[in-house]
Amino acid sequence: MSTPSAHDALGRDEIAHLATLSRLALTDEELDRFAGQLGAVLDAVAQVGEADVADVDPMTHAVPLTNVLREDVATPSLPRDVVLAGAPAAEDDRFRVPRILGEE
């Protein structure tokens, strides 16, 4: 006797409920077709879950990743007065920008 598949557990009512939650309007024909398709996907996912992974180390990517960025090192920058000289408007040693969102 075989174990019941995820497809067997999904009925039209469950698909209709999922469609409602997803805000999808489905016809009766679409409900029948999607029930079969979603059931097949869930069966495939269930098969992956049965794989023996006891000796497989957890990982976040299929291939090893190496950070290729340089170290974050503070370096001298332009003097504040030189930077602010290029700004359209400055006030109190800061950039002055237009007020947004009606803030005071």
The tens digit of pLDDT for each residue in 27-76 reads 999 988 888 888 889 899 999 889 898 898 888 888 888 888 888 899 99
pLDDT at position 68: 82
Q: How far is CA 38 from CA 11, 45, 50, 68, 70, in A?
A: 10, 11, 19, 41, 46
Residue with tokens 């879950």: 49
Q: What class has domain 6-49?
A: mainly alpha
For residue range 2-23, what is the model confidence (pLDDT) as tens digits? 454 554 567 888 889 989 999 9
Q: What is the pTM of this model?
A: 0.42
Of 24 and 101, the structure prediction assigns the larger pLDDT to 24
